[in-house]
């Protein structure tokens, strides 16, 4: 009798596995007759699991957003194929080399591939496709943006400015407000930083020395670079690290050599010759930080207009 039960249970398990595989292979959308599978959608939804837990409304909104992103990626990839846009020889392998270097060993990299359910050939295909999307976007979008020499010069000069500041980092807004009030009443900022700050810079009384753009988180950078008067306080600034108070000390203009270095780096990004590969483990994004700061708003709007053009030409079907 026990043996029969085991056979039945094994049969149920195989049936469940078959259903799960069928569900993963289900088509959720078609882009010019190319399917987007449920498995790909579920993978793209993983980073949002905490947000959608317990709320059907939020889940549906995020589901729609992520599915639209996958549709857009497929449209862009198809456009790259149609325009015969491909990575340069060895470019994808170079990116895989950078990603490999994130792991302590080759075994760790191979294990990550196994956990993702892919082999190295499939991973190379994904890297190729990502690069193709980046390159077709460069070709189709940046060609429509007007770049002036004056705008380039002014950006590079401004980007090269450095700020000298002190700061205090605490965990709560209440603590930050209390310390801010003490600083306003005349208590020495260096003393307050040495007493209260959670940042290692407390050993230097909160002194961060000179720093340039792109070295601090956005909120901190914006507050620091908005000040101009020695001794000026920023007020409470919230970042992912906690709550900051910033005391401005000085600004330093860039040298002509520094401006030229920034200009060359920006030109290299604008023409697609350099980029950053960021992310964790197998996940990666291709970023061009200087380019995004220089023409970010124009870039975004022109990209959206181009996507709309592609959508109007495409045959898209959401499969219920």
Locate 49 and state its tokens: 């699991």
Pairing of strands 27-31, 34-37: antiparallel
pLDDT band of 18, cuts 50, 70, 90: very low
Alpha-helical runs (H) found in the chain:
2-24, 38-45, 49-52, 56-82, 91-100, 106-116, 120-141, 149-159, 173-184, 189-196, 218-225, 256-270, 289-313
Q: Which of 1-15, 29-43, 87-101 has the lowest mean pLDDT?
A: 1-15
Of 22, 67, 13, 18, the closest CA to residue 40 belongs to 67
pLDDT for residue 147? 87
Is residue 17 predicted with pLDDT exceeding 70?
no
* Burial (CB count within 10 angstroms: exposed 0-12, middle 13-18, buried 19+), residue 248: buried
The pLDDT of 62-80, averaged and rounded, is 93
Delimit the domains of the chain by residue range.
2-144+282-318, 161-252
What's this model's pTM, rounded to 2 decimal places? 0.74
- How do residues 161-199 score in pLDDT, each as one tens digit? 999 999 999 999 999 999 999 999 999 999 999 999 999
Rounded to whole angstroms, the Cα distance separating 45 from 38 reads: 10
The position carrying tokens 């009798």 is 1
Cβ atoms of 98 and 107 within 8 Å: the answer is no
Instruction: Please give the class, per CATH, of domain 2-144+282-318.
Output: mainly alpha
pLDDT band of 23, cuts 50, 70, 90: low
Q: What is the mean pLDDT of the chain?
A: 89
pLDDT for residue 132? 96
Rounded to whole angstroms, the Cα distance separating 155 from 293 reads: 9
Is residue 67 predicted with pLDDT exceeding 70?
yes
CB atoms within 10 A of CB 173: 12
CB atoms within 10 A of CB 94: 13
Cβ atoms of 31 and 74 within 8 Å: the answer is yes
pLDDT for residue 58? 84
Rounded to whole angstroms, the Cα distance separating 226 from 174 reads: 24
pLDDT for residue 24? 59
Is residue 201 predicted with pLDDT exceeding 90?
yes
Locate 303 and state its tokens: 């990209």
Residues 6+ apart with CB under 8 A from 295: 145, 147
- How do residues 114-133 score in pLDDT, each as one tens digit? 998 899 999 999 999 999 99
Is residue 11 predicted with pLDDT exceeding 70?
no
Is residue 21 predicted with pLDDT exceeding 50?
no
Tell me the residue length of the chain: 320
The pLDDT of 130-158, averaged and rounded, is 92
pLDDT band of 49, cuts 50, 70, 90: confident
pLDDT for residue 6? 42
Instruction: Please give the class, per CATH, of domain 161-252.
Output: alpha beta
pLDDT for residue 5? 41
Is residue 230 predicted with pLDDT exceeding 50?
yes
Rg (Cα) of the chain, in Å, rounded?
26
């Amino acid at each position: 009798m026990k043996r029969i039960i085991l056979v039945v249970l094994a049969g149920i398990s195989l049936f469940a596995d078959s259903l799960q595989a069928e569900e993963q292979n289900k088509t959720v959308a078609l882009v010019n007759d190319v399917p987007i599978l449920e498995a790909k959608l579920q993978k793209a939804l993983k980073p949002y699991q905490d947000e959608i837990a317990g709320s059907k409304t939020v889940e549906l909104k995020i589901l729609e957003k992520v599915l639209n992103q996958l549709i857009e990626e497929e449209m862009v990839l198809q456009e790259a194929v149609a325009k015969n846009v491909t990575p340069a020889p060895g470019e994808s392998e170079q990116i895989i080399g950078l990603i490999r270097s994130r792991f302590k060993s080759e075994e760790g990299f191979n294990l990550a591939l196994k956990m993702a359910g892919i082999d190295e050939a499939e991973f190379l295909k994904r890297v190729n496709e990502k690069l193709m999307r980046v390159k077709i976007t460069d070709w189709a979008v940046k060609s429509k943006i007007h770049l002036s020499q004056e705008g380039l010069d002014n950006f590079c000069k401004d980007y090269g400015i450095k700020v000298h500041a002190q700061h205090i980092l605490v965990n709560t807004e209440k603590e930050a407000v209390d310390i801010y009030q003490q600083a306003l009443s005349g208590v020495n900022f260096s003393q307050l930083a040495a007493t209260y700050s959670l940042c290692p810079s407390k050993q230097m009384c909160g002194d961060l020395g000179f720093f340039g753009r792109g070295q601090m988180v956005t909120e901190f950078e914006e507050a620091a670079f908005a000040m101009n008067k020695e001794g000026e306080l920023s007020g409470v600034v919230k970042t992912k690290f906690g709550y900051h108070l910033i005391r401005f000390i000085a600004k330093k203009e860039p040298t002509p050599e520094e401006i030229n270095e920034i200009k060359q780096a920006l030109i290299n990004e604008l023409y697609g010759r350099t980029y950053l590969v960021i992310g964790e483990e197998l996940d990666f994004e291709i970023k061009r930080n200087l380019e995004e700061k220089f023409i970010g708003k124009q870039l975004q709007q022109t990209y959206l207009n181009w996507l709309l053009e592609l959508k109007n030409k495409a045959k898209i079907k959401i499969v219920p």
